[in-house]
């Protein structure tokens, strides 16, 4: 299993604070069936700034520690960048890290709102040759109240990544219900842990995927399992659920 969102790097954001914490998270990830994990430290969120060069260095050190401790987990470079008006400048200057050096760029919104300029920046990211991936949209209050905002973003080419704990109900019944509604509406494409530790913000990946399979069926389950591999390989991911593709073909729309 591949986890494409985590805060496993030590001492640089609100995730693991020490190398001991990182190793504990790594061991927990392996016990959850994860063999590859993307480190996505916060950047430009008002508390933490972690630029690409620093992240690459931290990932290299952590992978060495994992080998020394015989933990079968590979950490890849990523970054969780809060959307701001200077985001394109940072992307073009090399301060923003894409996922494993691919075209995929994580975009985070503040939990309470979506910036008025969000649609323009999502468009600009694509014009520059990248694919924006909006992280945990189900936990954004404005999107929760106005899902059409997310629909518009997906329609112009953005992808979205949901948190495993949301599907599993760890953020409450309302967010769990909304998460399943987003899946039904084909408005999300990835499932990841967003793990910060091994206690209050753990991996929950197996539980979430079991819930996904039970509620949405095998085809949706396999789509969400396959997309992380396609992402880290820099390939085009599956944007629509197989059943929706079949409907489009039947109607002559695809």
11-65: pLDDT as tens digits: 999 999 999 999 999 999 999 999 999 999 999 999 999 999 999 999 999 999 9
Query: Between residues 229 and 241, which one has the greater pLDDT?
Result: 229
* Cα dist from 244 to 23, 168, 223, 237, 238, whole Å: 41, 24, 12, 15, 11
Report the side by side order of strands in the sheet with 36-39.
2-6, 36-39, 74-77
Average pLDDT over residues 196-218: 95
Contact 224, 190 (CB under 8 A): yes
Strand partners, 162: 191
pLDDT at residue 250 in the model: 41
Question: At 241, is the pLDDT very low, low, confident or very high (cuts 50, 70, 90)?
Answer: confident
The pairing of strands 36-39 and 2-6 is parallel
pLDDT at residue 240 in the model: 85
pLDDT at residue 8 in the model: 98
Q: Domains (ranges, CATH) in the chain?
A: 2-251 (3.20.20.140)
Retrieve residue 95's tokens: 């301060």
Rg (CA), the chain: 17
pLDDT at residue 252 in the model: 47
Angle, helices 52-68 vs 19-31, to 10°: value is: 70
pTM, rounded to two decimals = 0.94
| Cα angle 191, 130, 176; round to 5 | 20
Angle, helices 205-216 vs 173-184, to 10°: value is: 50
The single-letter DSSP state of residue 111 is: S
85-96: pLDDT as tens digits: 999 999 999 999
pLDDT > 70 in the chain, percent: 95
pLDDT at residue 17 in the model: 98
Residue 251 has pLDDT above 50, yes or no: no
DSSP three-state, residue 2: strand
123-180: pLDDT as tens digits: 999 999 999 999 999 999 999 999 999 999 999 999 999 999 999 999 999 999 999 9
Residue 242 has pLDDT above 80, yes or no: no
Average pLDDT over residues 180-188: 94
pLDDT at residue 131 in the model: 98
Average pLDDT, the chain: 94
Query: Which residue's entry shows tokens 């914490």?
Result: 21
C-alpha span between 6 and 12 (Å, rounded): 12
108-128: pLDDT as tens digits: 999 999 999 999 999 999 999
């Amino acid at each position: 299993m591949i986890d494409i969102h985590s805060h496993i790097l030590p001492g640089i954001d609100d995730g693991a604070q020490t190398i001991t914490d990182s190793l504990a998270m790594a061991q927990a990830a392996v016990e959850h069936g994860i063999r590859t994990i993307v480190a996505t430290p916060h950047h430009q969120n008002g508390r933490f700034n972690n630029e690409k060069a620093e992240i690459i260095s931290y990932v290299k050190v952590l992978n060495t520690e994992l080998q020394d401790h015989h933990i079968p987990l590979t950490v890849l470079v990523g970054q969780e960048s809060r959307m701001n008006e200077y985001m394109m400048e940072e992307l073009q200057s090399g301060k923003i890290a894409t996922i494993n050096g691919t075209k995929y760029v994580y975009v985070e919104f503040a939990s309470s709102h979506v910036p008025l300029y969000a649609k323009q920046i999502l468009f600009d990211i694509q014009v520059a040759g990248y694919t924006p991936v909006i992280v945990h949209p189900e936990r954004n209050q404005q999107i929760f109240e106005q899902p059409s905002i997310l629909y518009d973003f997906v329609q112009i080419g953005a992808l979205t990544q949901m948190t495993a704990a949301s599907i599993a109900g760890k953020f409450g019944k309302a967010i769990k219900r909304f998460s399943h509604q987003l899946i039904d509406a084909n408005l999300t494409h990835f499932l990841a842990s967003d793990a910060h530790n091994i206690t209050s913000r753990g991996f929950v990946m197996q539980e979430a995927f079991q819930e996904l399979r039970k509620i949405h069926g095998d085809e949706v389950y396999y789509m969400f399992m396959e997309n992380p591999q396609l992402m880290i390989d820099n390939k085009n991911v599956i944007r629509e659920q197989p059943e929706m593709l079949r409907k489009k073909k039947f109607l002559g729309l695809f």
